[in-house]
Amino acid sequence: MVRRIGISGNYAVAYAVKMADVDMIAAYPITPQTTIVEKLSEFVANGELDASYMNVESEHSAISACVGASLTGARVFTATSSQGLALMHEILFMASALRTPIVMANVNRALSAPLNIWNDHSDAMAQRDAGWIQLWVRSAQEAFDATVESFKIAEETRLPVMVNMDGFIVSHMYEPVELPDEEEIRKFIPSRPLENRVSTKRAHAVGVVGPPEYYYEMKYQAIDAIEESRPKIKEIDNDFNSRFGKSYSEIDTYGIEEADAALILMGSIFGSAKEVANALRRDGKNVGVISLRVFRPFPVQELRRAIEGIRAVGVVDRATSPGGSGNPLYNEVATALYDMPERPVIQGFVAGLGGRDIREDDFRLMYDATQKAAREGAGRCIYVGLRE
Amino acid sequence: MKCVKTTLKGWREIPEGGAITEPGSSVNFDVTAWRTSSPVIDQEKCTKCGMCFLYCPDSAIEIDETGNYRVNISYCKGCGICAKGCAPKAITMVKEGH
């Protein structure tokens, strides 16, 4: 039976992890992620979850412990934000190359300096080349569903998965969330021994030196694995849908069928963007929105299909790449669309850094500028709401 | 022991995550190209104390059927530890190409 309860995005993740029956959790508290691992420690202490809970001295140790535990075949979880994710940086690359199916919730928060605990996407964008699958959610329900799916995606691809959730806006927002029976979740992601794991029963060395004769081939395995994950992510979502009646595609669109201009964005601002698009459509402006749920592997074909017929797109970055040819999401979109025979004009925006709200007027400005780009061509990146 | 040079494996053949699933794979690794000098043992001076055999970090010193210590040049990276550790100074490091 499905239970409908009021919980925060963070608690939704904790419930999903508990239902996934993880074997080990290694965590270090950091705002705004803390209540995920706090709730999980409660589940373990109460005997509701039979898992080993490791309090470590840093995020670097948290992810290192997860890699080690995962190599033995354990189902592991960790959660972090911002500086914590940055501290994990070097180990993130090992997690993907050693093919450890770790699931991590990253509650998106700005990177220092100045010190800031609020939401933007700079933490995850700085780790985009670490070889992790990245999912982006927009509500507590999505956070629950994506976390459940992530364990299956991770174990079938033997790649680590990062579930990204906007700090405070999703992580601390209490919403009604539908929780399926724990038994049903466990049928969806049964615990099973992973092959090729470290064991005392046979000789097996991992994390070995990859000299120039081998590094390239070893690295390519993880590149191939993330490419091959595309159909698997779809299949797993279909399976999830048949069991729980919810489905999430790589990209989500709103009002783009007749649109001449559309915004492309990620995370919780999809809701506000839809509201404003709706208001503008009532005034006869043909605008729409595209939201990415999967950022790695980047949904190139899905985006190209969605974009057909649209004359201009505006890419909303909530992170920057100082001195770059564009900001992270802009660069991905521009590269994905570049060799389309009739590609749209692409206007870049930066908005909502360090928790700055992106308000109705900001969206109106971005839709207007994108429509203007359709007529006159795109200009330089617009830093929305920046005071001179 | 003879060094077996294996054919380099392609990415599809390497165990997932670059794991080494067979023990003793280092015997397949020839380090000849690393060396700038190699040890030469003067059997006249050698007292067969075995210090070179113990010190060599790559197990490149072997004992032949006559009980003499010999260098397996495939595994010698030319570090010179054997020469340093040789009490009767029976080992000389000779520059490669001389």
| Nearest CB to A221; choose among B8, B14, B20 | B14
Using CA coordinates, name the residue in chain B closest to A98. Answer: B17
Inside any domain, residue A221: yes
Domain count, chain A: 2
User: Are A164 and A286 part of one and the same domain?
Assistant: no
Please give the sequence-ordered ranges of beta strands (E in DSSP) within B42-81, or none if there are none.
61-63, 69-71
Question: Testing the interface with B: which of A217, A220, A224, A226 to mutate, by most B Cβ within 10 A?
Answer: A217
Q: CB B19 to CB A208 under 8 A?
A: yes
User: Are A297 and A366 part of one and the same domain?
Assistant: yes
- Asked which of A244, A265, A299 is the last residue of a domain, the reply is A244
Q: Please say whether the beta carbons of B37 and B80 come within 8 A.
A: yes
- Asked which of A223, A244, A265 is the last residue of a domain, the reply is A244
pLDDT in tens, chain A (388 residues): 899 999 999 999 999 999 999 999 999 999 999 999 999 999 999 999 999 999 999 999 999 999 999 999 999 999 999 999 999 999 999 999 999 999 999 999 999 999 999 999 999 999 999 999 999 999 999 999 999 999 999 999 999 999 999 999 999 999 999 999 999 999 999 987 666 678 888 778 899 899 898 999 999 999 999 999 999 999 999 999 999 999 999 999 999 998 999 999 999 999 999 999 999 999 999 999 999 999 999 999 999 999 999 999 999 999 999 999 999 999 999 999 999 999 999 999 999 999 999 999 999 999 999 999 999 999 999 999 999 9
- Asked which of A207, A227, A244 is the last residue of a domain, the reply is A244
| Nearest CB to B14; choose among A100, A204, A217 | A217
Contact residues, chain A, for B18 at CB < 8 Å:
97-98, 206, 208, 210, 214, 218, 221
Inside any domain, residue A388: no
Q: Report domain extents, chain B.
A: 31-95
Inside any domain, residue A195: yes
Q: CB B17 to CB A196 under 8 A?
A: yes
Question: Testing the interface with A: which of B7, B11, B20, B21 to mutate, by most A Cβ within 10 A?
Answer: B11
User: Are A194 and A307 part of one and the same domain?
Assistant: no
User: Are A53 and A189 part of one and the same domain?
Assistant: yes
Which residues constitute the domain of residue A283? 251-383
CA A16 to chain centre: 16
Using CA coordinates, name the residue in chain A closest to B31. Answer: A211
**A339 exposed, middle or buried (CB, 10 Å; 0-12, 13-18, 19+)?**
exposed
Contact residues, chain B, for A223 at CB < 8 Å:
none
Which CATH number characterizes residue A338's domain? Answer: 3.40.50.920
Question: Among all chains, which residue has been given the structure tokens 């209540």?
Answer: A35
Which CATH number characterizes residue A236's domain? Answer: 3.40.50.970
ipTM of this predicted structure = 0.88
Q: Which CATH architecture has domain B31-95?
A: 2-Layer Sandwich (3.30)
User: Are A131 and A158 part of one and the same domain?
Assistant: yes
Check whether B1 has a pLDDT greater than 60: no
Inside any domain, residue A346: yes
User: Are A43 and A171 part of one and the same domain?
Assistant: yes
User: Are A57 and A137 part of one and the same domain?
Assistant: yes
CB proximity list for A284: less than 8 A, separation 6 or greater: none
CB proximity list for A335: less than 8 A, separation 6 or greater: none
